[in-house]
Amino acid sequence: MTTPSFPYTHFLRQQAYIAGQWCDADSGRTLSVTDPATGQMLGTVPDMGAAETARAVAAADAARHAWAARTAGDRARVLRRLYDLMLAHQDALAELLTREQGKPLAEARGEIAYAAAFIEWFAEEGKRAYGEVIPPHAANRRIVCLKQPVGVVGAITPWNFPAAMITRKLGPALAAGCAMVLKPASQTPFSALALAALAEEAGVPPGVFNVVTGGARAIGGALTADPVVRKISFTGSTEVGRTLMRQSADTIKRLSLELGGNAPFLVFDDADVDAAVDGAIASKFRNGGQTCVCTNRFYVQAGIHDRFVDKLARRVAELRVGNGLEPGVEVGPLIDAAAVDKVAEHVGDAVAKGARVVVGGGRHALGGSYFTPTVLSGVTPGMRLTEEETFGPLAGIVRFQDEADAVAQANDSAYGLASYVYTRDIGRVWRVAEALEAGMVGVNTGLISTEVAPFGGVKQSGLGREGSRHGLDDYLEVKYLCLGL
Ligand SMILES: NC(=O)C1=CN([C@@H]2O[C@H](COP(=O)(O)OP(=O)(O)OC[C@H]3O[C@@H](n4cnc5c(N)ncnc54)[C@H](OP(=O)(O)O)[C@@H]3O)[C@@H](O)[C@H]2O)C=CC1
Ligand SMILES: O=C(O)[C@H](O)CS(=O)(=O)O
């Protein structure tokens, strides 16, 4: 039976999803969602708060036992149906995602496939949540360790990947036998609600997956305060992650925190300069620079510096900026005016401190939330763009002399999420990769994100890992049985 193809409007749900019911806020209040490319309203979602969140937590707590009692294979079959449905409706889901977030349609299609891959991956991983039998400490004892689901999970996700950041949590949570209450970003809630509709169609039981939309502080406060919620999984800024960590302390919750980044990109004299420029474009301008693993500062060795800057600037000047729905657009609008202001402030600060605009440098002629892809040279430590996450299409380049200096500058940050190094010297690959204070290192590649590898950071970039076989552990508890004979 072929799956009918629907327009994106088919998935545009303007109600929240609690206990298997589509519902409005108790107050009747709504939040507007706008298309960042046009500023036009796309739709509204309920502006919910603590009361609705409490009902969602209660529904998750009621539903989790029967879900956990099903076999891992049974849960995997439901997740596989969700995976199949996501891919069957990839185009409609991608258009909905581009309309609420702004990224080019090709990237949105890629995100839907990436999001679905987490569901497929963890459907299978859930079947391998092996326990263990341990040689006993006494002849009359037997030791067995079980893996059991954490229970009710509170999830809070950002606007930059409105589908993948959800399934990166939903996949392992449901595969492990947990139930979830999700608060998506208010700027991009429709992808989350579309996932809820597909989960319902795939056979995820009522209450196992709930989506509450509305005020972040009220919903987040309710999730972190409720002792029934045993885990918080958050992706977003370090500032908010810190708040959630504090609020979770009173009930000692498990935490998965995927937070801010400040990725360094090191290019050594012996690098393939064309490959390095390809990697720089991929790592810096994906999603308009609005990913936590985007390069935030470039360090280029003196011998290759001028060639790298010239080649990169030529490529950046050719990037096509526009509405993500238009064919061929490579850089869409930023999420909102505040994001544009931040990029402009980083450019202004760097230029005031001596940096040179090689290409771009300001707001785009299209106006609104568009910013011209920009390359700055002559960047030096102390400029804001080397210390703060720009989260926009701005490449700032620092020239360096020797390896030790480059590594020291790269590590001079409170963050440690992603990092990148281009060199063809195998000894340098190992020295630098081992020395970089980051959770992830791209070697001669600017694209590192995949469901099969452990994604996460060190220092103030977060706690835990998502994806890979490690990602399931964050949703499981180890129970030790000591059997007296
Ligand atoms: N490490 C990673 O994988 C990722 C990290 N990030 C980081 O997130 C930042 C950009 O994303 P952005 O969405 O602006 O980040 P925010 O941290 O502002 O928001 C992320 C989510 O947290 C919610 N939120 C905000 N304040 C609170 C609160 N007090 N209590 C509970 N929830 C709250 C938001 O809700 P609402 O939308 O309603 O405000 C949103 O759903 C960057 O720093 C980026 O590096 C982003 C993506 C991935
Ligand atoms: O930056 C993020 O929000 C995601 O982690 C992006 S990705 O690198 O996983 O695609």
Domain count within the chain: 2
Looking at the structure, tell me whether residues 105 and 208 fall in a common domain.
yes
Looking at the structure, tell me whether residues 288 and 346 fall in a common domain.
yes
**If you measure from the C-alpha of residue 448 to the centroid of ligand 2, how many angstroms do you get, rounded to a whole number?**
9
Query: Is 220 inside a domain boundary?
Result: yes
Protein residue with least CA distance to atom 5, ligand 2: 292
CATH of the domain at 375: 3.40.309.10
Query: With a 6 A CB cut-off, is 165 part of the ligand 2 pocket?
Result: yes
Query: Is 455 inside a domain boundary?
Result: no
Q: What phi and psi, each to the nearest 5 degrees, are found at residue 224?
A: -75, -25
Number of Cβ within 10 Å of residue 372's Cβ equals: 21
Looking at the structure, tell me whether residues 154 and 249 fall in a common domain.
yes
Q: How far, in Å, CA of 190 to CA of 196, rounded? A: 10
Report pLDDT digits (tens) over 161-199.
Answer: 999 999 999 999 999 999 999 999 999 999 999 999 999
Return the pLDDT at 1.
64
Report the percentage of the chain scoring pLDDT > 90: 99
Looking at the structure, tell me whether residues 186 and 277 fall in a common domain.
no
Report pLDDT digits (tens) over 337-389.
Answer: 999 999 999 999 999 999 999 999 999 999 999 999 999 999 999 999 999 99
Looking at the structure, tell me whether residues 84 and 185 fall in a common domain.
yes
Looking at the structure, tell me whether residues 356 and 467 fall in a common domain.
no
Q: What is the ipTM of this complex?
A: 0.95
Looking at the structure, tell me whether residues 269 and 240 fall in a common domain.
no
Return the pLDDT at 185.
98
Query: Is 171 inside a domain boundary?
Result: yes
Mean pLDDT of all residues in 110-123? 98
Pocket of ligand 1 (CB under 6 A): 156-160, 183, 185-187, 216-217, 220, 235-237, 240, 243-244, 258-261, 292, 389, 391, 417, 462
Average pLDDT of the chain, as a whole number: 98
Looking at the structure, tell me whether residues 254 and 304 fall in a common domain.
no
Report pLDDT digits (tens) over 291-302.
Answer: 999 999 999 999
3-class secondary structure, 235: strand
Among 3-17, 69-83, 314-328, the range scoring the smallest mean pLDDT is 3-17
Return the pLDDT at 3.
73
Q: What phi and psi, each to the nearest 5 degrees, are found at residue 62?
A: -75, -30
Q: How far, in Å, CA of 210 to CA of 400, rounded? A: 50
Report pLDDT digits (tens) over 466-482.
Answer: 999 999 999 999 999 99
Quick check: is 318 catalytic?
Answer: no
Protein residue with least CA distance to atom 3, ligand 1: 258
Query: Is 451 inside a domain boundary?
Result: no
Q: How far, in Å, CA of 149 to CA of 65, rounded? A: 10
Mean pLDDT of all residues in 38-47? 98
Return the pLDDT at 278.
98
Mean pLDDT of all residues in 219-229? 98
Query: Is 94 inside a domain boundary?
Result: yes
Report pLDDT digits (tens) over 378-428.
Answer: 999 999 999 999 999 999 999 999 999 999 999 999 999 999 999 999 999
pTM for the model: 0.98
Query: Is 453 inside a domain boundary?
Result: no
Return the pLDDT at 49.
98
Q: How far, in Å, CA of 382 to CA of 367, rounded? A: 30
Residues spanned by the domain of 409 = 263-443
Query: With a 6 A CB cut-off, is 449 part of the ligand 2 pocket?
Result: yes
3-class secondary structure, 145: strand
Which of 52, 111, 258, 389 is an active site residue? 258
Protein residue with least CA distance to atom 9, ligand 2: 449
Looking at the structure, tell me whether residues 365 and 393 fall in a common domain.
yes
Looking at the structure, tell me whether residues 119 and 12 fall in a common domain.
yes
Looking at the structure, tell me whether residues 243 and 315 fall in a common domain.
no
Return the pLDDT at 76.
98
**What are the structure tokens assigned to 210, written together?**
């709930």
